[in-house]
């Protein structure tokens, strides 16, 4: 009987974790292709369907995998905090779906490029974390990029900033709670389930509901929206526990890069000189930030 050595076993777990994390980031990166197919459905209805079907998928997943005994460990305070995170992620979902369906995919990708650096600032001002000089430099350069595009476009890139702020706020809020990712999503989607279901039934009663009144493939996409929401999060939670945090930090840029390519190459959104310069400045900031983190990790002694 062949058995794996501890080293081989760790390598196997790392490969599985890397595959799962890559799968999650690829799905998130290709989200514009999915939500764009639902452009005929109002974004708020798509978000409500996403919430309802996601709650059902996650409930079934957890019920089969480990049951619901963990619910007894949740305090009222934790549930209240999860309600706030649920509202933050609901706002993020709605804004992202709306922006994609009305042709602002490039700006949504900018939001997810900005998000890591905004999360860093929240860590500094809320959690009292300290930044090293190169990290401050990266944040400053990214700010210059946003200001440049604001001046050139004559308007604040509010979609990108709102997406980055809502997701960074969600990440910060979840960091304060000792609840695993999938279980947290189960509670969040569960808290939103009844309001979302009530809204869908109300739209059906008023005759303005999309479900069952458009092409059959639209109904299928609305239902599958729950699966494509839950599946990458499950994969990410699995992968993040098995690969180094530095690798997770680098892989996260796959998502906005693919979103940007979808917007420019697939849906032919304009990508002007100001975008090249503005995005280039922000990409430079991300290279500095990621490179500084890798350099620090390589210099730190092995434990």
Q: Which of helix, strand or coil describes residue 272?
A: coil
| C-alpha span between 120 and 168 (Å, rounded) | 9
Average pLDDT of the chain to the nearest whole number: 85
What is the pTM for the complete model shown?
0.84
- Find the helix packing angle between 181-206 and 43-65, rounded to 10°: 140
Q: What is the percent of the chain where pLDDT is above 90?
A: 33
What is the pLDDT averaged over residues 8-26? 80
Long-range interactions of 215-218: CB distance < 8 A, separation 24+: 217/37, 218/37, 218/38, 218/40, 218/41
SS3 (DSSP) at 128: coil
Which of 22-36, 148-162, 260-274 bottoms out in mean pLDDT, i.e. has the lowest? 148-162
- CA separation for the pair 246, 29 (Å, rounded): 20
Q: Could you report the per-residue pLDDT of 70-110, keeping only the tens digit for each?
A: 888 888 888 998 999 899 989 999 999 999 999 999 999 98
Among 280, 46, 37, 259, CA closest to 164: 259
Two structure tokens written together for 173: 């809020």
Flag whether pLDDT at 15 surpasses 70. yes
Residues 6+ apart with CB under 8 A from 254: 22, 25, 26, 29
What's CA 5's distance to the chain center, in Å?
36
pLDDT of residue 295: 75
Query: Is pLDDT of 206 > 80?
Result: yes
SS3 213: coil
* Range list of H helices, 126-180: 133-153, 158-175
Query: Are 239 and 19 in contact, with CB atoms under 8 Å apart?
Result: yes
Q: Using DSSP, how many helices (H) and how many strands (E) does the chain show?
A: 12, 0
């Amino acid at each position: 009987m062949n058995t794996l050595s501890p080293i081989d076993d760790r390598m196997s777990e790392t490969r599985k974790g890397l595959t799962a994390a890559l799968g999650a980031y690829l799905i998130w990166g290709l989200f514009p292709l999915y939500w764009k197919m639902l452009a005929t459905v109002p974004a708020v209805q798509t978000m409500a369907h996403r919430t309802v079907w996601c709650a059902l998928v996650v409930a079934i997943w957890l019920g089969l995998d480990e049951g619901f005994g963990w619910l007894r460990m949740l305090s009222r305070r934790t549930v209240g905090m999860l309600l706030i995170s649920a509202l933050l992620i609901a706002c993020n979902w709605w804004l992202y779906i709306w922006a994609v369906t009305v042709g602002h995919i490039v700006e949504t990708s900018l939001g997810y490029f900005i998000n890591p650096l905004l999360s860093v600032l929240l860590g500094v001002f809320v959690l009292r974390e300290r930044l090293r000089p190169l990290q401050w430099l990266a944040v400053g350069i990214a700010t210059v990029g946003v200001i440049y595009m604001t001046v050139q476009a004559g308007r604040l890139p509010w979609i990108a900033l709102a997406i980055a702020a809502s997701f960074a706020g969600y990440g910060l809020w979840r960091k304060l709670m000792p609840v695993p990712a999938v279980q947290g999503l189960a509670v969040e989607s569960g808290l939103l389930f009844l309001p979302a279901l009530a809204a869908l039934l109300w739209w059906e009663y008023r005759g303005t509901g999309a479900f069952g009144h458009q092409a059959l493939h639209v109904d299928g996409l609305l239902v599958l929206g729950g699966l494509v929401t839950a599946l990458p999060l499950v994969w990410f939670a699995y992968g993040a526990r098995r690969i180094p945090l530095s690798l997770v930090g680098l892989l996260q840029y796959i998502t906005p890069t693919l979103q940007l390519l979808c917007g420019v190459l697939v849906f032919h959104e304009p990508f002007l000189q100001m975008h090249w310069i503005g995005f280039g400045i922000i990409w430079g900031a991300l290279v500095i930030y990621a490179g500084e983190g890798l350099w620090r990790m390589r210099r730190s002694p092995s434990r």
